[in-house]
Structure 1
Amino acid sequence: MALTDIAIRNAKRGAKPTKLADGGGMFLLVTPAGGKLWRLKYRIDGREKTLAIGSYPEIGLGEARRRREEARELIALGKDPSREKQRAKIRARAEAADTFAAICDEYCAKRRKDGAKGWAPATATRSEYLLSLVSGSIGKLPIGEIEPADVLAAIRRIEGKGKLESARRSLQLAGAVFRYAVATARLASDPTRDLRGALTAPTVTHYGAITDVKGVGELLRAIDDYDGSGVTRLALQLAPHVFVRPGELRHADWSEIDLDGAIWSIPAGRTKMRKSHLVPLSRQAVALFREIHEATGATGYVFPSVRTRTRPMSENTLNAALRRLGYSTDEMTAHGFRAMASTLLNESGKWHPDAIERALAHGDSDKVRAAYHRGAHWEERVAMAQWWSDHLDMLRKGADIVPLRA
């Protein structure tokens, strides 16, 4: 006979456990301590088993019957409801542990070690910082429970502070974390895929750079007169000759510099394109390196921090020095030495564009073509490095400027 709510409420405990049947194998077990527990007896694979459904009154009669039918449906499909219940518990615990913050940490650790495609140290630091801005809002949420609105609210907080570019990049990185969770079978789909276009587009700004010959000469003379740190002055003097990325210059290590061979070998782990880059050194560049060598020693960073030799020069040092010389951000930046070289070398008409691109360490999507150009233009790059340094010397002296194509 089926149970009723009245019969369940009136059931009294006894000296021994008592079973009150409801049908379909389900019964209410009344314990000597007064507990009322729903149980389902069933057979699967020839074995009799018991499934714990829950306790009364937390699980009422109607809910207990619904769960009984769900279990019977699993049995009809040849599945053990006890085993499925255990799997659900394990899955729930795993999902609770897979928070956005935890998967962010896992993703960032992977990208740091991702072989040739791994993040450079500076990129890793910046990316982890941007992801931390998002984690402040959704970091503790299980990744499977995060909805597009949750991500948008987190990004809007960054955007609301006027950091439009940081908001855009944070959204991109969050999307990469979600796609990593999809790839590792912890998420069905990326909730950021429908958020494209939801943010205010930042104004594109270019690195300040001086590219007219008169302005270049004035800048070089100003650098020679820089009255701040001697190491900073030497870094500024070297920068236009080698025109590498500021981070590559700051992290230069003496182990990479061959002054006798006049070559600087930048390892792949420190370049933007994740490929090793060779920089031919002109006589002027070698002379500057030798002068720097006298100031900073034979090992470690070429341009160490003023506080400790175990860290490189701060990323703000060169730009701060340019500001001290009177150049605004719109006029000249540490990165601007690359645009300066690119513009004037191309305008000279003396050098093959591919040689200039190789000197700038720009990527080439065609691996065969890239390998060919690396070898084919090396001698030209060596000659170009010396011509460029000689040309800088001429501009510094303020000589009469003749048309470059003459």
Structure 2
Amino acid sequence: MPLTDIEIRNAKPREKPYKLGDSLGLFLLVKPSGGKLWRVKYRIHGREKALAIGVYPTVGLAEARRRRDDARQKVSDGLDPSIEKRRDKMRAQMQAATTFTAVAAEFCEKRKRDGTKGWAPATATRSEYLLSLLRGSIGHMPIADIQPIDILAAVRRIESKGQLESARRTLQLAGAVFRYAVATARIPSDPTRDLRGALTTPTVTHYGAIIEPKRVGELLRAIEGYDGQPLTKLAMQLAPHVFVRPGELRHAEWSEFDFEDELWTIPAAKTKMRKDHLVPLSRQAIAILKEAHALTGPKGYVFPSIRSWARPMSDNTINAGLRRLGYSSDEMTAHGFRAMASTLLNESGKWHPDAIERALAHGDSDRIRAAYHRGAHWKERVAMAQWWSDYLGELSEA
């Protein structure tokens, strides 16, 4: 006789498991623990088997009968419901592993470990952030199901907020993820390839930089009078002397510095060109670093976050310090110290352009030429580093 909801609700646990039969192979297994499990018996290829189809009360009587009927239909079609259930589970697992977000995460991990071409930490952080902007739109979708219209709608959502460059870069990164999916046999082609030109082209803007000697002196004096966080002041004081990329300065660790040899070795993993970059240190730079050493040395980051010394200073700290001094982003930025050094060193006429380029860690596509210049201009770079710091001192006192 078929079961009723009242019978099921009133079924009490016993010392041993027992069954309450319904109809057409459906039964409820009542466990000693009180759990009530739906099962359906079926016979296929001469063997009797049982399929688990849910737990009561999550799966009620009507739903259990519907699932029983589905299982019986599979048997009628020559399919084993137990095997099909395992296959469905595997398909769901594979689908979860091939959502856009999952493939993007896999792609980012590969790019971070990509040998000499691997992403620098700052690049990885920025790229992962931009790809995260797609989570709410295409992130949950299986990558094979994503169409060009889905991607276009997702990046236009970013564009509509006025973030034109972020939208453009996010589309580029999405394309890289799709091409990675092609290379790993998940999809046949990149659906972003036909979206070129679909977004508004952002106006190219350059980093704000002060390059007039008189204004450089004013800036240096302003930094000297900075009354905010001591580490922020020291970072702003050091930046013009070493003119490395802001991310390299923020991620600097004490283990990279050799005061005796007056040398800072930035490891390849932290540089844009994925090569070790050697920075000769002037007397002034070492004096600033020793002040910082008294605050944060001898291990870890030179300029740690004020919230946690396990993390480097925020990428906005120096810019925020410059804003506090009254300099707008159009006037001066953390990156602007590089343009300042490049402009004034070249205008001095004292140094070979290749020595200046090497000091700025700009790449050279010719490996033989690059190796030659690295050796040929080292002594000149050491002399240039001290001259530059002395010149900055003259400007700040003018």
1:156-182 per-position Cα deviation (integer Å, ceiling 9, x unaligned): 111111111110010000000000000
CA contact (8 A) 1:38 1:54 kept: no
2-side partners of 1:116 and 1:377: how far apart?
Answer: 23
Matched position secondary structure for 2:133: helix
State the partner residue of 1:239.
239
Residue matched to 2:273: 273
| CA distances 1:204-249 after superposition (whole Å, capped 9, x unpaired) | 1111000001100111111111111222111111111100111111
User: Of the two, which has the highest radius of gyration?
Assistant: 1
Task: Measure how far apart 1:198 and its partner are.
Answer: 0.2
The aligned residue for residue 216 of structure 2 is 216
Give the CA RMSD over aligned residues: 2.6
Task: Call closer, same or farther: CA 1:397–1:151 in 2, change over 3 Å.
Answer: same
Q: Secondary structure at the match of 1:123?
A: helix
Structure 1 counterpart of 2:118:
118
C-alpha distance 53-305 of structure 1, shift in aligned 2 (>3 A): closer
Q: C-alpha offsets along residues 56-86 of structure 1, whole Å, 9 cap, x if unaligned?
A: xxxxxxxxxxxxxxxxxxxxxxxxxxxxxx9
Q: Whole-Å Cα distance in 2 between the matches of residues 103 and 228 of structure 1?
A: 43
- How far apart, CA to CA, are the structure 1 residues paired with 2:149 and 2:228? 50
In structure 2, what is the equivalent of residue 100 of structure 1? 100
Specify the SS of the correspondent of 1:279: strand
Which aligned runs of 4 or more in structure 1 are off by greater than 3 angstroms?
Answer: 33-39, 52-55, 86-97
- Are 1:162 and 2:162 an aligned pair? yes
1:367 shift after superposition = 1.4
Q: TM-score, normalised by structure 2?
A: 0.77
The answer to whether the 8 A contact 2:245-2:338 is kept is yes
What whole-Å deviation, never above 9, does each CA across 1:93-149 have from its counterpart, x for those lacking one? 745642111111111111121111112222212111111111221112211111111
Alignment map for 1:14-93 (pairs within 5 Å): 52=78
Q: What amino acid maps onto 1:232 in structure 2? A: T
Question: Relative to structure 1, is the Cα distance of residues 368 and 34 closer, same or farther in structure 2, using a 3 angstrom cutoff?
Answer: closer
Q: CA deviation at 1:272?
A: 1.2
- Where 1:370 maps in the other structure, the secondary structure is helix
Matched residues in 1 for 2:199 and 2:363: separation?
Answer: 29
The answer on whether the counterparts of 1:211 and 1:339 sit within 8 Å (CA) in structure 2 is yes
| Partner residue, 1:137 | 137
Q: Give distance in 2, aligned partners of 1:302 and 1:93.
A: 44
Q: Is the 8 A contact 1:95 1:144 kept in 2?
A: no
- Which amino acid letter does the alignment assign opposite residue 269 of structure 1? A
Alpha-carbon distance between aligned partners in 2 of 1:350 and 1:182, rounded to the nearest angstrom:
52
Aligned position for 2:355: 355
Whole-Å Cα distance in 1 between the matches of residues 151 and 80 of structure 2?
Answer: 36
For the structure 1 residues 34 and 268, does the alpha-carbon distance in structure 2 shift closer, same or farther, using more than 3 Å as the test?
closer
Instruction: Quote how far apart the aligned CAs of 1:38 are.
Output: 6.2
The answer as to whether partners of 1:38 and 1:53 remain within 8 angstroms in 2 is: yes
Q: Distance in 2 between matches of 1:338 and 1:34?
A: 73
State yes or no: 1:290 paired with 2:290: yes
Cα separation, 2, equivalents of 1:87 and 1:232: 57
Q: Is the 8 A contact 2:96 2:102 kept in 1?
A: no
Post-superposition offset of 1:314: 1.5
Letter in 1 for 2:327: Y
User: Would you say 1:308 and 2:315 are equivalent positions?
Assistant: no
Determine if the alignment matches structure 1 residue 225 to structure 2 residue 221.
no
Question: How much has 1:91 moved relative to structure 2?
Answer: 7.6
Rounded Cα–Cα distance in structure 2 between residues aligned with 1:331 and 1:290:
30
SS at match of 1:278: strand
Q: Which residue of 2 aligns with 1:249?
A: 249
Matched to 1:366, the amino acid is D
Counterpart-to-counterpart distance in 1, 2:204 and 2:381: 32
Post-superposition offset of 1:277: 0.3
Structure 1 distance, partners of 2:298, 2:75, is 78
Post-superposition shift, 1:88? 12
Residue deviations 1:231-290, cap 9 Å, x none?
211111111110011111111111111111100000011111111100001111111112
CA distance in 1, matches of 2:75, 2:337: 77
Give the residue type in structure 1 aligned to 2:328: S
CA distance in 1 between counterparts of 2:96 and 2:215 reads 60
Distance 2:133 2:183 in 1: 23
Q: State how far apart, in whole Å, the 2-side matches of 1:177 and 1:35 are.
A: 41
Instruction: For 1:237, give the aligned amino acid.
Output: Q
Any gaps of 5 or more consecutive residues in structure 1? 1-15, 18-32, 40-51, 56-85, 399-406
Report SS of the residue matched to 1:144: helix
Deviations 1:20-79 (A, max 9, x none): xxxxxxxxxxxxx9969766xxxxxxxxxxxx3899xxxxxxxxxxxxxxxxxxxxxxxx
2:263 touches 2:280 (CA, 8 Å); kept in 1?
yes
Quote the Cα distance in structure 1 between the aligned partners of 2:269 and 2:194.
34
Contact 1:244 1:360 in 2 (8 A): yes
Alignment correspondent of 1:338: 338
Structure 2 vs 1, CA of residues 223 and 35 (structure 1 numbering), >3 Å: closer, same or farther?
closer
- Report deviation, 1:193: 0.4
Is residue 95–residue 186 contact of structure 1 (8 Å, CA) maintained in 2? no
Q: Counterpart in 2 of 1:203?
A: 203
- Give the match's secondary structure for 2:205: coil
Native 8 Å contact 2:97 2:103 kept in 1: no
| 8 Å CA contact 2:256, 2:264 repeated in 1 | yes
Identity fraction in percent = 72
Alpha-carbon displacement from aligned partner over 1:182-204 (angstroms, at most 9, x marks no partner): 00111110000010100001111
Inter-partner Cα distance in structure 2 for 1:397 and 1:182: 60
Please give the residue correspondences for 1:187-198 in structure 2 after superposition, counting only pairs within 5 Å. 187-198=187-198
Amino acid at match of 1:239: A
